[in-house]
Amino acid sequence: MFHLALKMLIGDRAKFLMLLGGLFFAALLMTQQCAVFFGLLTWTTSHLSNIRAKVWVVESRVEQVNELKPLRDTDVSRVRSVPGVAWAVPLYISVLQARLSDGNFKPILCVGLDSTSLVGRPATILSGRIEDIRLPNSVIVDDLALTRLKAPGGPPPKVGDTFEINDREARIVAICKSDRAFFGYPYVFTTYDQALQFAPRQRKMLSAVLAEPAAGLTAQETADRINASVSGMRAWPEEKFYWDTIRWYFKNTGIPISFGITILLGFVVGIAISGQTFYGFVLENLKNLGALKAMGASDLLLSAMLIMQVLTVGLIGYGLGLGVASAFGALASSRGNPPFFLPWQLVAGVFGLILLICLAAAFLAILKVRRLEPAVVFRG
């Protein structure tokens, strides 16, 4: 009987392709848009993923990692004095202007690391030596800088090339791999003292303090001790800082609503096209279903046949949609834009939504079949 159901489904090629197209489009739209949205959220937390510190201590009014407010240099010592802190180092992060060889200016994210420990250094060095960052006027640029700091028509920058930051020469000693920032600026790493030389002078220059919990303490416990002991600053465990940054973008930007409407549209279109098409397919096959019912097929068996038909199309459509979305993601990753992040939870979630669409379409058809009289086969 199930073999017969598949022959009925594939035999009506027009309905089969229309049903397949609706589910394919729904799976593609939901997967691609969700993956781009998740990728965009990873850009909002690039400071955390690139610098990697267990505890961030920032100004007390800071709400998310991309809006750091300056602190006094003496605040590093205040954090170091808190019981439960194994060590603490200064960090500088700010958007500065880089002057290229052709005279153009490009914004960069200048990151100043503690020169002794280099805590927060890039995890992956593509070329050059990370130890050379301690040399005077030395910087490490990320892979995005190879295109952003390139003069029009000229070759991409390489180890040994120079450019200017705030009228000071910056020499590239290494090229690293980093996660892209939300605003699309390339990361330029240097030592903390050198970053202060590059940056315009201000009364407060410290952006954050990176701390490590003492042995036997969690990041949350250390953060609580810092918050209880130090005024004017707030300590964040890295994971909490990550999720609070995500929540800030949900609350204060229109990005989630924009993507959410598109994802919802894909779900609604999938239900509308699939439900209407499958219902039309059942109407055209009422006589065949009536004949099966007249020969003794129960409503349960006919319902199982309908569910198998729509699930077959759903699985094919889901597979095709996921495949095309993955191909789009591979292309986007090779180009670096748009952002694309496809976790297994998203794959499972879209699969569940496609099953829901299929079951909704099958439900409409089952209602019609349950009211079907076997005598319909004898009508003209």
Portion of the chain with pLDDT greater than 70, in percent: 89
Q: Which residue has the tokens 């960069």?
A: 108
**pLDDT for the residue 372:** 62
**pLDDT for the residue 2:** 60
Contact yes or no for 249/338 (Cβ under 8 A): no
Dihedral sign of CA atoms 213, 214, 216, 221 in order: negative
**pLDDT for the residue 16:** 77
Strand-pair category, 162-165 with 85-99: antiparallel
Contact yes or no for 162/170 (Cβ under 8 A): yes
**pLDDT for the residue 156:** 87
C-beta pairs of 237-240 under 8 Å, 24+ apart in sequence? 237/54, 237/55, 238/48, 238/52, 238/53, 238/54, 238/55, 238/56
Residue (of 168, 211, 220) closest to 190 by Cα position: 168
Question: Mind listing the pLDDT tens digit for each residue in 67-91?
Answer: 999 999 999 999 999 999 999 999 9
Contact yes or no for 183/148 (Cβ under 8 A): no
b/e for 89-109, b at 16 or more Cβ within 10 A? bbbbbbebebbbeeeeebebb
Contact yes or no for 121/189 (Cβ under 8 A): yes
Residue 52, by phi and psi: left (phi above 0), alpha (psi -120 to 50) or beta? left
Of 227-236, 240-249, 298-307, the least confident: 298-307
Describe the chain by its helix, strand, coil percentages, rounded to 5: 55, 20, 30
**pLDDT for the residue 288:** 65
